[in-house]
Structure 1
């Protein structure tokens, strides 16, 4: 009988430890992926934030538009490049290089009046054209 009770205790302890491990993992992932809306993409070594608003894409044969879309922005390891993950099946933009302009604004390197990406802690503005493809976004956090 004592052997069965010991095995039951081990099983209960293992279940409790497994639950605790999953709980800690879930909290860690939430803390790692969440980003306060007052985080400044220009001053953080790590930045991840979601901007919501109208987005669109056109490649000459396909047009995609979403009034309530989103763009998830992440700063990649280089420190000056960012990735833009669009919702609703719009292709992503990856490895776009930025420079700091003013105190809290990032502007795409090589930006012109007809092709630019601008990020700050509250707003994302995209009018990006390359190889006949056009991405747009006007998002807020």
Structure 2
């Protein structure tokens, strides 16, 4: 897998189209969750993805924040590439981007609750009870820098 890291301003229209298409496929269609998937955060975020040999996006996430906290969001693995442990590689890439651009800031994520142990393996600790976000159980988690 080939890793890519680009700020919104560096993305080509084709790259952003592929990212948006995959995010809608996973978060809106697959999870049956109608919401405004593309948002203002996209314009300030670093977009991180793994590209398969086919050229298609296999996994994706975004990083944004400031010096007081950084955030991971829209973390996904393309359905066609699940079961290959790409989430581990993607999360390592996302954390490296967070460290590079927000070195002293803790990393925060609103994780789907069933992934609490996965994120826990990377040092994230729960900071909230489980809550519903767009009808899906989530939990706030934080990792100190």
Same fold at TM > 0.5: no
* Greater strand proportion: 1
Larger Rg: 1
Q: What is the TM-score when the length of structure 1 is the normalising length?
A: 0.31
Q: What is the TM-score when the length of structure 2 is the normalising length?
A: 0.30
* Greater helix proportion: 2
